Amino acid sequence: MSDLFSVKAGYSGMNLQIAATLDGVLVAVGEVPIHGARHDAHAYAASGLAERLRDLPSVADLGYIGVEGINTVPHKRSPGIDLDPSQVEFNTALGRIRAAVEHAIAHLKTWRMLSEEGGRYRYPISKYESTVAAIVGLYFFAAYE
């Protein structure tokens, strides 16, 4: 797992892409975990989530600007140029919507293995994908039982 180690974060990591409703209910997790050093825009397609959400409207953060299949992203401030008031208002409203998704991520991370605080995956990387699939399956089983 040394190739997954992030000096900046101080631990090894993978990128899981998730989709949630505007109410913060987790509805999908990308089937393929992506190396943590990859950009979110790449991870979205490579995880399989883009294909699963192909026909649905979607909202995302600045990491997804220009990504095919993402309908709504915040306005990005250009260097030295402030956003106009309507863009700031739009970004604020979008941030409120995205807060629900952050709650869904936090809820998924209650599965200790997926959290940063002591859970970190330590088994052979070849088993990571099947382990995450099992955790996600158990999560949905427990949530919708």
Top-confidence range, 15-19, 68-72, 82-86, 131-135:
82-86
- How far apart are the C-alpha atoms of 105 and 42, rounded to whole Å? 19
- How far apart are the C-alpha atoms of 4 and 36, rounded to whole Å? 7
pLDDT one-digit tens code per residue, 51-69 = 888 888 888 888 888 888 8
Query: Does pTM surpass 0.85?
Result: no
Q: Give the pLDDT mean for 112-126.
A: 61
CA 61 to chain centre: 10
